[in-house]
């Protein structure tokens, strides 16, 4: 039962940069490229049975830019994450906490850092929304931990749960190719 509760709760987390709500019909910024992204798991100290750690990771996303400032990372049906750009390098961060269903007084925090570069198109063209780069490559690092004041010991493998350790870290390398949509 604990495993099912953990899987249900972890399915909600599924890497916050890659999950959320669908309430933003008019995204900010101008389109700068849509990518089919494949993530390869290169580190997982959380454990192979944790549902929030798919391998491989696969999704489509859109990079959007605001000529006067931030950049945005968007997936269909997901929240937009605001980030920063320096040339062809992009960085996005998100933070969240999730109560774990079936495990009283356990809330996991999730910190995501997404960094990538886009190659194959001039940065000025991307900033003007003129077209996508030919490749996206980068890294997604997610840190899971018990939130302050939480008791998540039941999630640990030594107590019958799927998590090897908390806190733990998951790292993916990312490769993306231009695609026509989400």
Q: What digits encode the pLDDT tens for the residues 70-117?
A: 999 998 777 899 999 999 999 999 999 999 999 999 999 999 999 999
Whole-prediction pTM value?
A: 0.81
- How do the domains of the chain map onto residue ranges? 2-18+34-178
Stretch among 56-65, 70-79, 105-114, 170-179 having the lowest mean pLDDT: 70-79
Which pLDDT does position 20 carry in this prediction?
38
Torsion angle defined by CA atoms of residues 75, 17, 107 and 142, in that order, rounded to the nearest 10 degrees: 150
Show the DSSP H helices in the chain as ranges: 2-13, 123-127
């Amino acid at each position: 039962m604990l495993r099912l509760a953990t899987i249900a709760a972890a399915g909600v987390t599924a890497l916050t940069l890659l999950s959320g709500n669908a309430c933003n019909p008019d995204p900010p910024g101008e389109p700068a490229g849509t990518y089919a992204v494949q993530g390869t798991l290169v580190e997982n100290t959380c454990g192979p049975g944790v549902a929030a750690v798919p391998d491989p990771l696969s999704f489509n996303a859109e990079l959007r830019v605001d000529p006067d400032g931030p950049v945005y990372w968007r997936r269909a049906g997901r929240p937009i994450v605001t980030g920063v750009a320096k040339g062809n390098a992009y960085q996005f961060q998100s933070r969240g906490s999730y109560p774990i269903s079936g495990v009283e007084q356990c809330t996991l925090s999730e910190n995501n850092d997404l960094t990538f570069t886009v190659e194959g198109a001039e940065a000025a063209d991307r900033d003007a929304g003129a077209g996508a780069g030919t490749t996206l490559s980068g890294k997604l690092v997610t840190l899971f931990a018990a939130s302050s004041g939480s008791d998540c010991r039941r999630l640990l493998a030594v107590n019958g749960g799927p998590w090897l350790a908390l806190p733990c870290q998951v790292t993916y390398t990312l490769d993306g190719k231009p695609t026509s949509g989400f």
